[in-house]
Amino acid sequence: MCKMNVNLIHLFFVKNMQRKGLFIMSKKLVAFFSASGTTKKVAEMIAEEVKADLFEIEPKVPYTKPDLDWMNKKSRSSVEMSDKEYRPAIMKKEMDMSSYDEILLGFPIWWYVAPTIINTFLEAYDFSGKKIVLFATSGGSGFGNTVKELQPSAPDAVITEGRLLNRGTKQEINEWVNSL
């Protein structure tokens, strides 16, 4: 049986047991990348709501305002996003992902998908058997092909599209986390 099927069976078993009140253990991590602070605010609210640990994905070289100018084809973000194989370096932190059952992964939408720094993060740690639920902030675009583009970076995890949390209100976040 392939690893993906085993992971899906495991996730189904755990969720079924939790619904029956027989198995409550579920440690969550809210990991996020935020270039402007918008996604960070949402991630902090989610972590507080679900009582999860918080992990900031930080680029080795912080993004500047000119780096984020999507109208400039030579800006750092434009160059990175035009090459799907590009992996911006991140500040690698010692983190034992095996202690988490579920990762809520947040980022701003860039060019209709997750920024490539999210691929860097997924490739830097072992997410085998983990459920990764995405959340994002966006000026107007949706998730696009995000799950499809991220899955190869964490092939043994189950990545699911979560929700755009553009307003970032407590009510919006509460409704979303209660639907998980």
Question: On the CB side of 125, how many CA atoms lie within 13 Å of its CA?
Answer: 23
Query: Are the CB atoms for 147 and 178 separated by under 8 Å?
Result: no
CA torsion, points 102, 96, 148, 155, in degrees to nearest 10? -110
pLDDT, residue 6, reads 46
CATH class of 28-179: alpha beta
Rounded-to-integer distance, Cα 41 and Cα 166, Å: 11
Q: Give the Cα separation of 20 and 58 in Å (integer).
A: 39
Q: What is the pLDDT along the chain (180 residues), one digit of tens a residue?
A: 555 554 545 555 555 544 444 555 579 999 999 999 999 999 999 999 999 999 999 999 999 999 888 889 998 888 888 888 899 999 988 889 999 999 999 999 998 899 999 999 999 999 999 999 999 999 888 899 999 999 999 999 999 999 999 888 999 999 999 998
Helix (H, G, I), strand (E, B) or coil at 80: helix
Give CA–CA dist 8/68, Å, rounded. 37
- Residue 136 pLDDT: 97
Q: Where are the domains of the chain?
A: 28-179
Supply the pTM of this predicted model: 0.83
Q: Show the tokens assigned to 48.
A: 């507080």
- pLDDT score recorded for residue 26: 77
pLDDT at 71: 82
Measured distance CA(150)–CA(152) in Å, rounded: 6
Q: 106 and 28 in contact (C-beta within 8 Å)? A: no
